[in-house]
Amino acid sequence: MELLIAIVIGVLTASGVFLTLRARTFPVVLGLTLLAYAVNVFLFAMGRLTIGLPAVINPAQGGYTDPLPQALVLTAIVIAFGMTAFLIVLALKSRSELGNDHVDGLHLAPDEVPYDKKATVKSQQPNKEASHG
Amino acid sequence: MNSLPFLPVLIPLIGGVIVLLIRQAGLNLQRLLSFLLVLALLAVSVELLHVASQGSPQVYALGNWVAPYGIVLVLDQLSALMIFITAILAVGALWYAISTKMDAQGSHFHVLFQIQLFGLNGAFMTGDVFNLFVFFEVLLLASYGLMLHGGGRLRTKAGLQYVVINLIGSTLFLFAVGALYGVLGTLNIADMANKVALLSSEDQGVVAAAGLLLLLVFGIKAAMFPLYLWLPQAYANASAPVAALFAIMTKVGLYAIIRVHGTVFGDNAQELAFFYTPWLLGLGLITIILAALGVMASRGLREQVAYLVLASVATLLIGIGLNTPAALSASLYYLIHSTLIAGGFFLLADIIARGKGSLEDHFKSGPTMPQAILIGSTFIFAAIAMVGMPPLSGFFGKVLILSSALDNEYFGWILTIVLIASLIMIIAMARSGSVLFYHLQPNVDSTDEPLNKLAYLAVILLFSASIVLVVFAQPITSMTDSIAQQLFNPNHYIDSVFNTPAVGKVSP
């Protein structure tokens, strides 16, 4: 069972790292989700893997599962869930504002002005920024 | 058990919720309450600094569960100092946000601001590594909201990168915490230090790897080479009061290195004692070169200040990497200086950008700004303080760090690199100052907006710290000496965590 869990964590992490390094936001979100899954299983395994034992000390059972990693995983799941939701909304916002879904935003949208030409162009259209508001 | 240590965490949390609930009553009431909360935090932090300087760390066991089973908040001198710096910075940033009405550009600015303070203060006080992770997430989530406050294209782009890199950092943090728990069986920092001292030699490799992974995570927060690339764009594109508050965010990473690594991998840690410090020193030296080049290459003042923040982080990494009480004490002095001056500098950059009209803060010859002499003098003051020229506090901080570096075997390299980097930064600041204030073109469209004097007060407040740090250098360095002594004797910290009884029980 340890071997299986270790392989699962490894595959999840490798896929997560691969996807996180992609150039578009959607694979990056998926990659971060996979990384979060990997770390959850990893945290769980760090309390040592046991089968069929309760998480509270019970003399009749002859053993117990470490409850602390389970609490940690629960916290980590909640945080990862919230963060993923936030990231998806942010990715959608950047898709609509930047006109593309590239993480580095290097690909300029058709109407976008490069940084070093911005000042001169803006002085000709003083009200442009206000309308973006 | 004294409940005073709990207040800096409680005030912004409850205050933030109340600020959220009264949003129907209008922005002005939110502003008033938010500002009163920050002032209350400042008052409490002064009291905490006083209490902590009495000696032994104050421990607050949450839910009356004592260490190592419960989560404890620990207030020692370092925590109290960090909370105090945060409170001053928050007063300046919030005053600026209110007086320029920047808080009206988006919703919930004050709520996010308070929750950010909640996360920061919690991170500075917690005695538990997993709880540190939770507080990191709190302060990060609030910072995502603040970072994007006001909207805009560049801000969204920089914000997305900032969020992604910090989410990766959080995942790595959990991996490191999990690996440490798997070997040591505890998450309490003091208890971890005890367990590492008794570690068998075959487990040391795993713990060292987890320790370095944790260093990587804190390095992302502190913007250490090669993990600094998110910082310049994020800071340059955040709105001014947010960027000013973010000046403390890199210091959270440094604080976590001092606290977690300094305690767990301290003197008692057998072969692992201070195994991380050569990394800090080497990476700090690389970071300061790249930061100086970034200062040189910046196209706008806000970007330049962001690189100056990076240079100050690098200086602090070198100071911590030197790993002597004298160097740590000097680093803490420099930390107070660099946080407050960088915060003020971001506000000043915004004032200059407003005065320059459509040119914003770009280094291009432009119109004369209103009150140019006053703003220009302030700029010279800030530049001198930030790059570390006499007679201001940056100079004293750097001298203290470099003089403590003389004992190090690589002192030649350290002195050469730091001084060359400082020279590059001085040249770059002189150039940007002359472009902003001397190369004028009267026919470019000027702004009619006069100087916002109330907003300017916030800059004065933060910059006056530099003068205070010079005038009261002696008492302040004796305080940082005492903090450094406390940090180099982690047994004191560990004993106070374990010897605090639960309420209603007698001390054993």
**Model confidence over A114-132: pLDDT tens digits?**
544 554 444 444 444 444 4
Contacts of B360 in chain A (CB under 8 A): 119
Are the beta carbons of A20 and B144 separated by less than 8 Å?
no
Q: How far is CA B102 from CA A41, B150, B182, B248, in A?
A: 43, 8, 47, 20
Cβ contact, residue pair B163, A115, below 8 Å: no
**Angle B299-B305-B307 from CA coordinates, rounded to 5°:** 80
B359/A119 Cβ within 8 A: yes
The CA-based dihedral angle spanning residues B259, B120, B222, A106, taken in that order and rounded to the nearest 10 degrees: 160
Binding-face residues of B in 439-458 toward A, CB within 8 A: 444-445
Per-residue tokens: B243: 């960027």
Per-residue pLDDT of chain B (508 residues), as tens digits, is 567 778 899 999 999 999 999 988 888 899 999 999 999 999 999 999 888 888 788 888 888 888 788 888 999 899 999 999 999 999 999 999 999 988 888 888 999 999 999 999 999 999 999 999 999 999 999 999 999 888 788 888 888 889 999 999 999 999 999 999 999 989 999 999 999 988 888 888 899 999 999 999 999 999 998 889 889 989 998 999 999 999 999 999 999 999 999 999 988 877 888 889 999 999 999 999 999 999 999 989 999 999 999 999 999 999 999 989 999 999 999 999 999 999 999 999 999 888 887 777 888 877 778 788 899 999 999 999 999 888 888 899 999 999 999 988 888 999 999 999 999 999 999 999 998 888 887 766 666 678 888 889 999 999 999 999 999 999 999 999 999 998 888 888 888 888 877 777 655 4
Class of domain A2-103: mainly alpha
Asked if B358's CB is within 8 angstroms of A104's CB, the reply is: no
ipTM score assigned to the predicted complex: 0.86
**Gap between the Cα atoms of B111 and B318, Å rounded:** 36
Label residue A49 by pLDDT band (50, 70, 90): confident
Chain A CB contacts of B102 below 8 Å: none
Q: Among B440, B465, B305, B312, which residue's Cα sits nearest to residue B379?
A: B305
- Cβ–Cβ below 8 Å for B156 and A98: yes
Is A79 within 8 Å of chain B by CB?
Answer: yes
Question: CA dihedral in degrees (B282, B81, B187, B194; nearest 10)?
Answer: 80
The SS3 call for residue B371 is coil
What are the residue ranges spanned by the domains of chain A? 2-103
Cβ separation A94–B160 shorter than 8 A: yes
- Which of B155, B156, B448 has the most A C-beta neighbours within 10 Å, making it the best mutation to test the interface with A? B156
